[in-house]
Homo-oligomer: A and B are copies of this chain.
Amino acid sequence: MARIYNFSAGPAILPEPVLKQAQQDLWEFGESGLGIAECSHRSKLFDAVAVSARTRVARLLGVSLDEYAVLFLQGGARGQFFQFPMNMLQGGRATYLDTGRWDDMAAKDAARYGDVDVAWSSQETGWNRVPNDDDYVVQNDTRYLHYTSNNTVAGGEFRHTPDAKGAWLVCDMSSNFLSHPVDGTKFDFIYAGAQKNVGPSGVTICVIRRSLLDRVASDVPDVLRYDKQVAKDGMVNTPCTFGIYVIEQVCRWLEDDMGGLSGIEARNIAQANKVYAQIDGTDFWQGKVETSARSRMNITFTTGNPELDTAFVKAADEARLSGLKGHRSVGGLRASLYNAQTDEAVDALVAFMAEFERTNG
């Protein structure tokens, strides 16, 4: 019963009330006599969970289920890198904004299905910036503009919703999904791996504008077709029922306990500000992203000395602060402060950073 401070980039910390409820429901869900992981995905019992999860996700994003469909699929956000263009590109043109490692991969996967135009990139400067609307061109015949709203690895985040300039707007929202208010109606397709802000790994949330459903390519296998999945409520194959259950619980926690997306945004801003203030307080630390593009979810920083960074991670682990190592592709340090992160953990991190600086500065 001694949980440590968990800054993992994902799978990541879950809200403690949700964990407590999940412990109970694994054994018996409500008064049903069945564990939540042990009932048919087609049972009334589970259907109520799935309907509630879809309804809550749509409500939080401010979209209507008449205009949008919510799917809980599998295969990771990584799977959507090919699945969306496989369904929708059909030899057409797609424009990608490259603000992180995953954009690069997404653009490469899309290139199997059409012409890909990388209209803007901060790759050469370590993905430390994001573009403004006037920094990129979307050509006239472009089917969709793809971007990643928060870049888990580099630690950059869009503070605005980019203009798709007439194309469909497609967003990998994995690592800041439901972390702040969003006008969902600006988007044509949103996808997100659940394992950052809203659940365990194993579920990919897809929110698709229904008018896209009759544009699906004809040669796509049923499991991968959005139209078939929507027609069957995401059950062409058996969905990850436990994951969907946790997502429903997390959305319930967001709406009922945390004041919805404005409430959680305020907490997320306050937490991120505390850590950035520590980074900016002296020359000991350096943030890795331009100030205007700093993520509230994944704070990337470094002492500037790889050996000292390694010592920091080791000492933090010993002090029961876990998951602070930067992504293997970039090194350095990273603190992930997703929705479920606690103020107590953030305070412990800031105090630990101050102490580490004092003894190593």
Across-interface contacts of A322 in B (CB, < 8 A)? 33-34
Task: List A290-348 residues whose CB lies under 8 Å from chain B.
Answer: 320, 322-323, 328
Copies of this chain, tallied across the complex: 2
Taking a contact as CB atoms under 8 Å apart, the answer to whether A241 and B40 are in contact is no
CA A77 to CA B223, docked complex, whole Å: 10
Q: Within 8 Å of chain B (Cβ to Cβ): is A121?
A: no
Interface string of A1-45 (1 = CB under 8 A from B): 111101011111110000110110011100011110111111100
Taking a contact as CB atoms under 8 Å apart, the answer to whether B14 and A22 are in contact is no
Contact pick for A19, options B8, B35, B79, B246, CB 8 Å: B35
User: Which of A87-95, A125-133, A231-239, A263-271 interfaces with chain B?
Assistant: A231-239
User: Which of A51-59, A160-168, A181-189, A194-202 interfaces with chain B?
Assistant: A194-202
Contact pick for A26, options B26, B34, B202, B221, CB 8 Å: B26
Task: List A218-276 residues whose CB lies under 8 Å from chain B.
Answer: 219, 221-224, 236-243, 246
Q: Within 8 Å of chain B (Cβ to Cβ): is A98?
A: no
Across-interface contacts of A157 in B (CB, < 8 A)? none
Indicate whether A242 sits within 8 Å of B241 (C-beta atoms), given known contacts A8-B38, A26-B19, A221-B109: no
Taking a contact as CB atoms under 8 Å apart, the answer to whether A27 and B1 are in contact is yes
Task: List A192-214 residues whose CB lies under 8 Å from chain B.
Answer: 193, 195, 200-203
Q: Within 8 Å of chain B (Cβ to Cβ): is A215?
A: no
Taking a contact as CB atoms under 8 Å apart, the answer to whether A27 and B23 are in contact is yes
Contact pick for A223, options B20, B76, B219, B238, CB 8 Å: B76
Across-interface contacts of A221 in B (CB, < 8 A)? 81-82, 86, 109, 112
Across-interface contacts of A222 in B (CB, < 8 A)? 78, 82, 109
Can you name the residue of chain B whose Cβ is closest to the Cβ of A31?
Answer: B2
Can you name the residue of chain B whose Cβ is closest to the Cβ of A24?
Answer: B23
Taking a contact as CB atoms under 8 Å apart, the answer to whether B34 and A201 are in contact is no
CA A241 to CA B75, docked complex, whole Å: 12
Q: Within 8 Å of chain B (Cβ to Cβ): is A74?
A: yes
CA A4 to CA B223, docked complex, whole Å: 33
Contact pick for A200, options B33, B81, B242, CB 8 Å: B242
Contact pick for A40, options B9, B19, B238, CB 8 Å: B9
- A269 to chain B minimum Cβ distance, whole angstroms, is 23
Across-interface contacts of A79 in B (CB, < 8 A)? 74, 223, 237
Contact pick for A201, options B8, B41, B246, B320, CB 8 Å: B41
- A74 to chain B minimum Cβ distance, whole angstroms, is 4
Across-interface contacts of A34 in B (CB, < 8 A)? 3-4, 6, 8, 322
CA A239 to CA B224, docked complex, whole Å: 18
Across-interface contacts of A241 in B (CB, < 8 A)? 11, 195, 200-202
Can you name the residue of chain B whose Cβ is closest to the Cβ of A108?
Answer: B222
Indicate whether A223 sits within 8 Å of B22 (C-beta atoms), given known contacts A8-B39, A33-B3: no
Across-interface contacts of A23 in B (CB, < 8 A)? 23, 26-27
CA A317 to CA B2, docked complex, whole Å: 41
CA A218 to CA B34, docked complex, whole Å: 45
CA A122 to CA B72, docked complex, whole Å: 35
Identify 23 residue pairs between A and B in the complex whose beta-carbon atoms are under 8 Å apart, listed by A's number: A1-B27, A8-B39, A10-B40, A11-B37, A11-B38, A14-B37, A19-B27, A22-B26, A23-B26, A23-B27, A33-B320, A43-B323, A75-B75, A75-B223, A78-B222, A79-B237, A81-B221, A82-B222, A195-B238, A201-B238, A201-B242, A202-B240, A202-B241
